[in-house]
Amino acid sequence: MSTERSLTVELPALNSLVDLLRSHDYAVVGPTMRDGVVVLDLLERFDEQLVGVESVSGPGQYRTQEKVGALFGGPVGPVSPKRWMSPPRSVAWSARIEDGRVEVTNPARVSPLAYLGIRPCDVAAKAIFGKVWPGHPDDVLIVAECTTAGETCFCSSMGTGPSAAEGADIILTELGDGRLLVRSESDRGAVLLAKVDGVASSADEIESGRARVRAAAESMGRSLDPQAAREALGAMPDSAVWDSVAKRCLACTNCTMVCPTCFCTSISDTADLAGETERTIRWDSCFTPGFSEVHGGAHRASVAARYRHWATHKLTSWWDQFGTAGCVGCGRCITWCPVGIDITEEANRIIKEVSHA
Amino acid sequence: MRDTALASHAFLEGFEEGHLEIIEDCVAGRSVWKQGEMMLLRGGAADTCHLIVDGRVAIEIRSPGSAPRVFQTLQGGDVLGWSWMFEPRLWTFDARAVAETTAFTLDAILLRKAMEDDCEFGLRFGIRMTQAVVNRLKAARLQVLDVYNR
Amino acid sequence: MSTTAEKLLTTWSRVVATRRETADTVTLTVESDQPFQPGQFDMLTAFGIGESPVSHSGHPRIDGVHEHTIRDVGAVTKALTALQPGGTIGVRGPYGRGWPMADLVGNNIVVIAGGIGLAPLRPVMLALESDPGSYGRAVLLAGARTPSDIPFASDLARWDASSAIDAFVTVDQADEKWEGPVGVVTRSLRPAQVDPGSIALMCGPEIMTRFAAADLLALGLSPDRIFVSLERNMECGVGLCGHCQLGSLFVCWQGPVVPWTVAADLVRVPEL
């Protein structure tokens, strides 16, 4: 935990941070309520609808409810930073043929973003996802540590939360009464904080914040040993677990859409009547039948094979490919699976199968 | 064993000396077919077993109105003909020498008697014939699968 | 645009010549100065239609032009095979791990090609043909569906006539005029008298390469001296889109050429 000075602030301080960032031409992304779900989107100010509200999640379930004093209450929603690092649909380039030559237009360069209230699991996800689709190097991270753990959360197991680790510029820790502890972790964060109104935090307040984060760490709804999972999943392609999941899995692709590290995209060219062509990058999912098509047929035709590929990629192959787990324990895949398939439960079954072998 | 050329035929690899002598006693002679000559005809009496030494043999089938269709070719080291083992002991397909072809020709009647008189020889030779049939079947399956046509 | 999307920018070039190989296969000669290794591929763009990965099929040491042999199997490849000299084509690459050319020097070589799988091996054969003194004896086994599906027929004839190369062409189904072998492509391993110390290169349908690898191992070749070009759905060619993964392997940049010691485990598991 940083020994930088901590301020105790209230909601207006968050809005002054937003104004400050926007005045420096940062677009600000943060939580906002939409159709009863806390999503992430561009903000001009902190969404008042989130005051006194917390999200509650379970396998295949999500809702929001009253929680007096909460600002960043409950676990993450379905949207993650990957929406900006590799948008659901983006144009890589466009071109037209003029006088027999191809004229290419590159879209405007991406500007840096400021993430307000990004959770530690998403900070980890941003770094991991960034190994394939880097974000802007100047993105500002104002991290909200989690003070309650969701039923599907397992960031503790994956070493990604609930306390903020590397990469934060500013860390926010809620005290539960509408106030927050705020501290800077970078020079840039310190410069921003210097312009925010707040009172130096007392030792009791700091300890209260730490205790709340510790309590969240100890009340995670799920757990998983990442090293055991890494060894087990890749070694068990013939496990009966895969077929048992396939009996329930609809291959609906929700999990890949909400997962903050799933990076698969499809790339296609289109042309309009005027002869201009665009190369479009779109989110894709390994659960779609055409994803693995070779020689006119899908190579992973069965749902069991597709689920096996996704889970094994997340927990084993990512290590071989990028030197890190692909999963940050955010629990979104469990929450947004319509039938509540739980990656921790399935991985633990396979780990047990290996230990009995 | 007097005929070292026979003993070194690929089809007989690993056979013990005593069994090689039994086979040698079944040899009717060496056959030579000119390019284009028919070696076996469908429906003919299957009373020989040929161990191909050199050349190329087309196994084919004729139907009215079209040229013969070759579905497999054999080469030196292969055995030609196994219908001698089973009733009604008639050749199933035609075999044609695509190039000049030579072979050791075994008298199938002598061979069958030898297999019945000496059970161990019969077993070994039977297994070797089965292996050739299995290899032929494996190849035929791969051909039918049309793997190059995606 | 992110730096990642920049990897999808293509260089625009022109088709210099076209040559029809079989009913559905065309070789395009394209202007390019980019050096490549045999076994690598480029992503070729048909303007406004899309991109397809296509192996290099030409001699690696010819300046200024590349050859790519394309089979018409979908919208993009149909458009590519329809291009005429002067036509616009997008080229980016080369990508992937190619054949182990340095390992081939001084060694006897077996090349097993199935169907259009001969195209990614053609740069190897052209290199062997133009520099026979650097290599041992080369045996080429090429399989095709029917005689009219045999690609690079004139190259095959020329290679077989070369003293350093023995070429055997086998078809699954003969036509009326075919006088050559009919059967599976590996039938010619025995008459070819392949040296067990050879390095083997294989490219073709996975069924064929699996059986061919088994036959090569039975002949005494070492699995770390057998190489295969894998094929999976490659949409970006640069490890971004995720489609080509086979286990942990990205076929686009950790392949497509891999030793059999790696491939065996990957192709053993159905639907991996």
Spatial contact of B105 and B31, defined as CB atoms under 8 Å apart: yes
- Rounded to an integer, what distance in angstroms lies between the CA atom of residue A72 and that of residue A171? 13
Check the CA dihedral B102-B106-B108-B109 and report its sign: positive
Selected residue of C43, C51, C84, C243 to mutate for chain A interface (largest A Cβ count, 10 A): C243
CA distance to partner chain C, nearest, from residue A312 (Å): 8
pLDDT of residue A1: 44
C144, C130 in Cβ contact below 8 A? no
* Model pLDDT for residues A267-324, shown as the tens digit of each residue: 999 999 888 999 999 999 999 998 998 876 888 999 999 999 999 999 999 999 999 9
Contact A68, A154 (CB under 8 A): no
Would you give the DSSP letter of residue B36?
T
**Contact (Cβ atoms closer than 8 angstroms) between residue C244 and residue C252:** yes
Are C243 and A107 a contacting pair at CB < 8 A?
Answer: no
- DSSP labels for C134-170? GS--EEEEEEESSGGG-SSHHHHHHHHHSTTEEEEEE
Calpha distance C135→B9 (Å, rounded): 32
Find chain C residues with C-beta within 8 A of A104's C-beta.
9, 12
Instruction: Please count the structural domains in chain C.
Output: 2
Chain A positions in Cβ-Cβ contact with residue C209 (cut-off 8 Å): none
DSSP for chain B, please give it.
---HHHHT-GGGTT--HHHHHHHHHHEEEEEEE-TT-EEE-TTSB--EEEEEEESEEEEEE--TTS--EEEEEEETT-EE--GGGSTT-B--SEEEESS-EEEEEEEHHHHHHHHHHSHHHHHHHHHHHHHHHHHHHHHHHHHHTTTT--
Residue type present at position A19: D
Q: C30 in a domain, yes or no?
A: yes
- Nearest Cα residue in chain B from C171: B143
Q: How many CB atoms lie under 10 A from the CB of residue A347? A: 25
Same structural domain, C22 and C86 = yes
Nearest to A317 among C45, C247, C270 (CB): C247
pLDDT in tens, B42-85: 999 999 999 999 999 999 998 887 788 999 999 999 999 999 99
- Answer yes or no: do C108 and C215 share one domain: yes
3-state secondary structure of C36: coil
C-proximal residues of A, 180-209, CB under 8 Å: none
Residues 72-91 of B with CB under 8 A from C: 72-73, 75-77
The SS3 assignment for A153 reads: coil
Residue with tokens 């990604």: A160
Do C83 and C114 reside in the same domain of the chain?
no
Q: What is the pLDDT of residue B137?
A: 95
Residue C62 in contact with partner chain B when CB distance is under 8 A:
no
Task: Give the residue among A89, A82, A131 at the shortest CA–CA distance from A258.
Answer: A82
Q: Apex CA A263: angle with CA A262 and CA A268, to 5°?
A: 135
Residue A170, beta-bridge partner list: A142, A184
Nearest residue of C to residue B147 by CA position?
A: C205
Backbone angle region of A117, left / alpha / beta, with phi > 0 → left and psi within -120 to 50 → alpha: left
- Please, are residues B56 and B73 in contact by the beta-carbon 8 Å criterion? yes
- Give the residue from A182, A190, A138, A170 showing the smallest Cα distance to A26: A138
Q: B30 — contact with chain C (CB < 8 Å)?
A: no
CB < 8 Å to C178, chain B: 70
Looking at CA atoms only, how far is residue C172 from chain B in angstroms? 5
Put simply, the answer to whether C233 touches A271 (Cβ < 8 Å) is no
Q: Is A133 on the interface with C (CB under 8 A)?
A: yes
Q: How many CB pairs under 8 A join B and C?
A: 67
Euclidean distance between CA atoms A105 and C186, whole angstroms: 51
Contacts of B56 (CB under 8 A, 6+ apart): B73, B74, B75, B97, B98, B99, B101, C181
| Band of residue A107 on the pLDDT scale cut at 50, 70, 90 | confident
- Whether residue C200 sits in one domain with residue C122: yes
Residue among C73, C115, C191 minimizing CB distance to B148: C115
DSSP string for residues in A280-294: EEEE--TTSGGGGEE
B65 touches C at CB < 8 Å = no
Q: Which residues of A touch C231 (CB under 8 A)?
A: 294-295
Q: What is the per-residue pLDDT across C179-207, written as a single tens digit (0 to 9) for each?
A: 999 999 999 999 999 999 999 999 999 99
Q: Which two tokens mark A340? A: 């509540």
Pairing status of strand C109-114 against strand C138-144 = parallel
The answer to whether the CB atoms of C2 and A134 lie below 8 A apart is yes
Residue B148 touches partner C, C-beta closer than 8 Å: yes
Q: Is A159 on the interface with C (CB under 8 A)?
A: no
A104, A105, A131, A265, best to mutate vs chain C, most C CBs in 10 Å: A265
What's the confidence (pLDDT) of residue B1? 63
Using one digit for the tens of pLDDT, what is the confidence trace for A141-192? 999 999 999 999 999 999 999 999 788 999 999 999 999 999 999 999 999 9
Is the separation of the CB atoms in C36 and C21 below 8 Å? Answer: no
Q: Please list the rounded mean pLDDT of every run of 10 residues in chain B (150 residues).
A: 87 95 96 97 95 96 86 96 94 96 97 97 97 95 86
C35-73 pLDDT tens trace: 999 999 999 999 999 999 999 999 999 889 999 999 999
> What does each C-alpha distance from A339 to A55, A59, A230, A251 come to in angstroms?
19, 8, 25, 11
User: Does A95 contact C at CB distance below 8 Å?
Assistant: yes
Residue in chain C lying closest to B144 (CA) = C172
CB A263 to CB C271 under 8 A? no
- The band of C2, judged by pLDDT with boundaries at 50, 70 and 90, is low
Helix (H, G, I), strand (E, B) or coil at A175: coil
- Whether the Cβ atoms of residue C186 and residue C106 lie closer than 8 Å to each other: no
The answer to whether residue C33 is domain-embedded is: yes
Sort out which chain C residues have CB atoms less than 8 A from A317's CB and list them: 245, 247-248
Beta carbons of A309 and C48 less than 8 Å apart: no
What strand order describes the sheet that includes A101-105? A101-105, A89-98, A277-283, A265-271
Same-domain check for residues C58 and C147 = no
Tell me the Ramachandran region of residue A114: left when phi exceeds 0, alpha when psi lies from -120 to 50, beta otherwise.
Answer: beta
| Model pLDDT for residues A67-86, shown as the tens digit of each residue | 999 999 999 999 999 999 99
Is there a domain that residue C194 lies in?
A: yes
Q: Which CA distances in Å does A179 have to A11, A31, B122?
A: 7, 17, 94
Range of the domain at C49: 3-95
Q: Which 50-109 residues of chain C touch chain A by CB within 8 A?
A: 50-51, 73, 88
Q: What tokens does A246 get?
A: 């396939």
Taking an 8 Å cut-off on Cβ atoms, the answer to whether B72 and C207 are in contact is no
> Which of C207, C222, C237 is where one domain is finished?
C222
- The burial of A6, by beta-carbon neighbours within 10 Å (0-12 exposed, 13-18 middle, 19 or more buried), is given as buried
User: Which residues numbered 181-200 in C keep a CB inside 8 Å of some CB on B?
Assistant: 181-184, 187, 190-191
Q: With H, G, I as helix, E, B as strand and everything else as coil, classify residue A228.
A: helix
Q: ipTM score of the complex?
A: 0.93
Count of CB contacts below 8 A, A vs C? 114
Distance from CA of B56 to the nearest CA of C (A): 8
Reference A300, options A312, A311, A286; nearest CA is A286
* C-alpha pair distances (Å), C130 with each of C99, C113, C169, C192: 17, 20, 21, 22
Do both C106 and C34 map to the same domain?
A: no
Model confidence over A195-246: pLDDT tens digits?
Answer: 998 999 999 999 999 999 999 999 999 999 999 999 999 999 999 999 999 9
What are the beta bridge partners of residue B95?
A: B40, B59
Q: Does C153 touch chain B (CB under 8 A)?
A: no
**In which band, very low, low, confident or very high, does the pLDDT at A100 lie, cut at 50, 70 and 90?**
confident
pLDDT band at C1 (very low <50, low <70, confident <90, very high): very low
In a domain, C12, yes or no: yes
Measured distance CA(A207)–CA(C152) in Å, rounded? 77
Contact A109 C232 (CB under 8 A): no
The amino acid at A63: R
Q: Is the CB of A251 inside 8 Å of chain C's CB atoms?
A: no
The whole-angstrom separation of Cα C91 and Cα C9 is 9
Q: For C197-249, give the DSSP string.
A: T-EEEEES-HHHHHHHHHHHHHTT--GGGEEEE-----SSSSSSS-TTEETTE
pTM above 0.90, yes or no: yes
User: For A107-116, C80-89, C103-112, which range has the lowest pLDDT when averaged over its residues?
Assistant: A107-116
Q: What is the pLDDT of residue B149?
A: 73
In this prediction, residues A111-116 reach a mean pLDDT of 95
Q: How many Å apart are CA C38 and CA C255, to the nearest integer? A: 12
Q: Residue A2 — very low, low, confident or very high, per pLDDT cuts 50/70/90?
A: very low
Which tokens sit at C66? 């590349």
Residues A335, A143: Cα–Cα separation, whole Å: 22
Nearest-CB residue to B76 (from C173, C183, C191):
C191
Burial of C71 (0-12, 13-18, 19+ CB in 10 A): buried
Radius of gyration of chain B (CA): 16
* Residue A307: closest CA among A327, A285, A287: A287
Could you give the CA distance from residue C37 to residue C100 in angstroms, rounded to a whole number?
Answer: 9
Q: Do C8 and A93 touch (CB under 8 A)?
A: yes
Find the distance separating the first CA and the last CA of chain A, reported in whole Å: 42
Number of H helices, E strands in chain C: 9, 14
Query: Between chains, do C269 and A133 touch, taking CB under 8 Å as contact?
Result: no
Q: Which of C95, C124, C154 is the last residue of a domain?
A: C95
Task: Tell me if chain B has a CB within 8 Å of the CB of C218.
Answer: no
Residue C244 lies in a domain: no
A173 pairs with which residues across the strands? Answer: A181
Q: What pLDDT, on a 0 to 100 scale, did the predictor assign at position A315?
A: 98
Domain assignment present for residue C214? The answer is yes
Domain B4-140 adopts which CATH fold?
Answer: Jelly Rolls (2.60.120)
SS3 A127: helix
Per the CB < 8 A criterion, the answer to whether B108 and B125 are in contact is no
**Which residues, including other chains, have CB under 8 Å from residue C24's CB and lie 6 or more apart?**
C71, C72, C73, C81
Taking an 8 Å cut-off on Cβ atoms, the answer to whether A92 and C242 are in contact is no
Compute how many other C-beta atoms are within 10 angstroms of the C-beta atom of residue C65: 16
pLDDT at C199: 98
Residues C83 and C105 in one domain: no
Query: Across the interface, which of A85, A237, A316 has its CB nearest the CB of C269?
Result: A237
Provide the 8-state DSSP code for A346: H
> What are the phi and psi torsion angles at B144 (to 5°)?
-65, -35
Q: How high is the pLDDT of residue A13?
A: 94
C106 and C89 inside one domain:
no
How far off is chain C from A330, nearest CA to CA, in Å? 22
